A and B are shown apart, each in its own frame.
Chain A
Amino acid sequence: GIQVEQSPPDLILQEGANSTLRCNFSDSVNNLQWFHQNPWGQLINLFYIPSGTKQNGRLSATTVATERYSLLYISSSQTTDSGVYFCAVERRSGGSNYKLTFGKGTLLTVNP
């Protein structure tokens, strides 16, 4: 199956700092999404971004599908950005699979 690697595994920032999270995947994908899991377990969908660049407030994401990686940028970080950031991908091989494979995540801690 497809492999998803996220880096760094852990990241500690001071409030106001910027950061870049990376997701590498082992094969071409039809679907790539970024999620934020808050300390209560809720998974929030940040971006659906199989290719290209998107921005949403202080967050932006870029996927370079031909080079098999995606980046999530967090600017002016806030303590509420703390949690685990997951990249998830899907490679469809015929039929209707809709199977998302998650990376191991990046644990972000933003200190005040």
Chain B
Amino acid sequence: DTEVTQTPKHLVMGMTNKKSLKCEQHMGHRAMYWYKQKAKKPPELMFVYSYEKLSINESVPSRFSPECPNSSLLNLHLHALQPEDSALYLCASSEQGLRAFFGQGTRLTVV
């Protein structure tokens, strides 16, 4: 099973809402990632978790808050987002530094 599952697939939220994106993998990978992708641009790394600890935060605004409850799950909590945060949010996992597998993404629209 080489699947990374993300929910929801689409999300529309207001600027005062709080929502969460979820990501799950059962490949036993110990590294998990959040990427943000704007239209016609490459994915940009936001966060890396390694062995359930945050190892990279690419200077992401605090309105994005990651969480890794266990080795299979990764969440991204969203609060007070801006319209410019509308994007495709991609979760990925890999065995340390090896082949990365991506989920289908969550298309987020902030209104």
B104 contacts which of A31, A33, A42 (Cβ < 8 Å)? A42
B: number of interface residues (CB 8 Å) = 26
Least CB distance from B36 to A in Å reads 12
Inter-chain contact count A-B, CB under 8 Å?
Answer: 65
Set of chain A residues within 8 Å of B44, measured between Cβ atoms? 102
Cβ A33 vs Cβ B88 within 8 A = no
Any B CB within 8 A of the CB of A57: no
Cβ A42 vs Cβ B102 within 8 A = yes
Any B CB within 8 A of the CB of A41: yes
Tell me which of B60-68, B71-79, B92-100 binds A. Answer: B92-100
What are 26 A-to-B residue pairs whose CB atoms are below 8 Å?
A31-B98, A33-B99, A33-B100, A35-B102, A40-B104, A41-B88, A41-B104, A41-B107, A42-B105, A43-B102, A43-B105, A45-B99, A45-B100, A45-B101, A48-B99, A96-B50, A96-B55, A97-B55, A97-B56, A97-B97, A98-B33, A98-B55, A98-B94, A99-B45, A100-B100, A104-B41
Beyond A45-B101, A101-B45, A103-B42: 12 further Cβ-contacts under 8 Å? Answer: A30-B97, A31-B98, A41-B105, A42-B102, A45-B99, A48-B99, A96-B55, A98-B97, A100-B100, A102-B44, A104-B41, A104-B42
